[in-house]
Amino acid sequence: MNNRLKVLRAERDWSQADLAERLGVSRQTVNALETGRYDPSLPLAFRISRVFAQPIEAIFIDE
């Protein structure tokens, strides 16, 4: 599944470590999410949605 995490993070000038701290996950997990190699659970997807103040479907693209 593709996502816009990297773009959204760059818009806010956050590092992967910054985003990881906001989400309560490791930096490695953020990296795996950004590269599209790991799909988050629903609770984590909702946390991401809240952190970026955007709906889940605006962040994750089902392709």
Partner 1 sequence: MATDPKPKRPLGLGAYVLVLVGVGLVGGLAGGLQGLTEGLPAPYGVVANFAVMAVAMAIGLAACVWWWRGIDEAAREAHKWAWWWGGSGGMAVGGMLLLTLTLNENAAPSAAELGLSAAELLAGGMWIILMFQLAGYAVAWAAWWLKHR
Phi/psi class of residue 6: alpha, beta or left (left: φ > 0; alpha: ψ in -120 to 50)? alpha
Smallest distance from partner 1 to CB 40, Å: 7
Q: Would you tell me which residues interact with partner 1 (CB under 8 A)?
A: 21-26, 28-29, 31-33, 35, 37-38, 40-41, 44, 47, 49-51, 53
- Minimal distance in Å, beta carbon 3 to partner 1? 14
7 or 54: CB nearest partner 1 = 54
